[in-house]
Amino acid sequence: MRVFVLLFNARTENEGIHTIQLGDRNKVLMFESEDDAIRFGVMLEAQDFPEPTVEAIDEEEIKEFCDSVDYDWELVPAGALEIPPENNVAQTEWNSDPQPKSDTDVSESELDSIRRRLEGLL
C-alpha cells in the first residue's frame, strides 16, 4: 500500500523525514490520504517549519526504514485530523540551509551511489 510522508529538502543530500518526538523516541507519520498529508504540512509551515514535500512511498519500505533507524511509525487513517504538536524540537538533525561542500567531501559519483541505495530503501 502507498502511504504519504513529509520530507524536508527532498531529493537533496540534506534530505530529512518529518518525525514527531515523544520522549526519546521519534515517530514517522504515514498518511493514507495525500490531502491529509498536505494539510499537515501546511500546519507545519504555520509553525515556522520549512515547506515539506509530500512523497508517496510504499508502506513496507517506510516500516523497514523506521526499523533500521529505530523509529516508531503510525498509520494515519484517511480523514483523521492529525495536528502537529505545539512544542517543536529546538534543533533538528538536518539543516534547512546546508553549508557549501568542502574539498574533503565525497565525490559526486559516490554521492550518486549513496543516493541510489537510499532511494532503493524508499
**Residue type for 61, please?**
E
Backbone angles phi, psi at 44, to 5 degrees: -65, -45
Give the integer Cα–Cα distance in Å for 33 and 3.
7
Q: Cβ contacts of residue 66 below 8 Å, gap of 6+? A: 28, 72, 73
What cell numbers appear for 56 in the block? 508517496
Helices of type H across the chain = 34-46, 59-69, 108-121
Question: 7, 18 in Cβ contact below 8 A?
Answer: yes
pLDDT of residue 110: 75
Cell numbers representing residue 80 in the block: 483523521
User: Tens digit of pLDDT per residue, the chain (122 long)?
Assistant: 999 999 999 889 889 999 999 889 999 999 999 999 999 999 999 988 889 999 999 999 999 999 999 999 999 999 998 998 876 654 455 454 544 444 446 667 777 777 777 777 66
pLDDT at residue number 23: 87
Q: Which residues sit opposite 25 in a β-bridge? A: 22
Residue 33 dihedral angles phi and psi, to the nearest 5°: -110, 130
